[in-house]
A and B are shown apart, each in its own frame.
Chain A
Amino acid sequence: MLPTGIYFDNYGSEARLLKTTRARISIALLIAALLAVPLLASAYLLGVGAQAFITLIAVLGLHVTVGMAGQINIAQSAFVGVGAFAAAKLATYGLPFWIIIPLAALITGLVSVVFALPAARVKGFYLALTTLAAQVLFPIVILGLPSDWLGGLVGMPVEPLMLGNYAIGSPERFYYFTLIIALIMTYAAFNLHRSDFGRAMQAVRDNDVAAQVMGIDALRIKISAFFVGSLFAGVAGACTAWFLQFVTAESFTLFTSVWYLGMLIVGGAQSPIGAILGVAFITLLQEGLHEIGTEILRNSREAGGTIFAATNVALGASILLALIFEPRGLAHRWNVLKEMIQFWPFPNR
Chain B
Amino acid sequence: MRLLIKGWVAAAMVTGAGVALSVPAKAAEYVMSASADFSGPFADVMPSAMSGITAITNWWNKDTGQKLGVKVNIKIYDMRYDAAVIARTWPSILSSDHPIMHLGFGSPDLTTLMKRLPNDKVPMIIGTAMVGLVWQPKGWHFSIRPTYSHEFGALLAKLQKDKGDKLKIGAVSTQTAAGFVDQVKGVEKLASMYPDRFEVVDTQWVAASPVTVTNNIRDMLEKKPDVIMVGGTTAQVIATAAALDELKVHIPIISSSHNGLSEAGKGGDLSKLEGDYSVFSFAPDNQKELPLRDIYLANKEGDGKWGLIADQSAAQALLALRVLEKAVAKVGPDKVTGEAMYDALLGNTYSEKDLLGALPTLKYDDTAPFPIGEIKAKAQIVKDGKIVPLGDAWLDAPKLDKW
Contact = CB atoms under 8 A, between A and B. Distances in A.
A47 B302 contact: no
- Interface residues of chain A: helix, strand, loop or mixed (majority): helix
B84 interface: yes
A307 interface: yes
A307 B38 contact: yes
B92 A154 contact: no
B89 A47 contact: yes
A332 interface: no
Contacts of B96: 42-43
A51 B94 CA distance: 19
A137 to B, nearest CB: 12
Contacts of B181: 143, 153
Interface string A247-267: 011110000000000000000
Which interface residue of B46, B48, B94, B115 has the most chain A CB atoms within 10 A? B115
Interface residues of A, number: 41
A297 B39 contact: no
Given A153-B178, A308-B43, A244 B87 contact: yes
Contacts, number: 116
Interface in A106-147: 139-140, 143
Contact of B89 (A44, A155, A297, A304): A44
Contact of A308 (B39, B54, B95): B39
Interface string A282-315: 0000000010011001000111111111011000
B175 A140 contact: yes
B83 A244 contact: yes
A245 B87 contact: yes
Contacts of A248: 83, 111, 178
A199 B54 CA distance: 60
Contact of B112 (A43, A246, A293): A246
A170 interface: yes
A47 B92 contact: yes
B78 A303 contact: no
Interface string A76-106: 0000000000000000000000000000000
Nearest to B304: A303
A308 B78 contact: yes
A306 B78 contact: no
A47 B112 CA distance: 14
B235 interface: no
Interface string B181-192: 110000000000
Given A140-B175, A155-B178, A304 B47 contact: yes
Contacts of B388: none
Given A42-B96, A290-B39, A308-B39, A303 B116 contact: no
B28 interface: no
B38 A308 contact: yes
A72 interface: no
B76 interface: yes
A50 B175 contact: no
Given A143-B175, A245-B112, A154 B91 contact: no
B266 to A, nearest CB: 15
Contacts of A155: 111, 133, 178
A170 B94 CA distance: 11
Interface string B78-108: 1000011001110110111000000000010
Contacts of A48: 88
A171 interface: yes
Contact of A305 (B44, B107, B182, B301): B44
Interface of B: 36, 38-39, 43-44, 46-48, 50-51, 54, 76, 78, 83-84, 87-89, 91-92, 94-96, 107, 111-112, 114-116, 133-134, 175-178, 181-182, 301-304
27 contacts: A42-B92, A42-B96, A43-B94, A44-B92, A46-B88, A47-B88, A47-B89, A143-B175, A157-B115, A171-B88, A171-B91, A171-B92, A243-B84, A244-B112, A245-B87, A246-B112, A246-B115, A250-B178, A251-B84, A297-B38, A303-B46, A303-B47, A303-B48, A303-B303, A304-B46, A304-B78, A305-B43
Interface of A: 42-44, 46-48, 50-51, 139-140, 143, 153-155, 157, 170-171, 240, 243-246, 248-251, 290, 293-294, 297, 301-309, 311-312
Given A302-B303, A303-B46, 14 more contacts: A47-B87, A47-B92, A143-B181, A153-B182, A155-B111, A171-B88, A171-B92, A290-B78, A303-B50, A305-B38, A305-B303, A306-B303, A309-B39, A312-B39
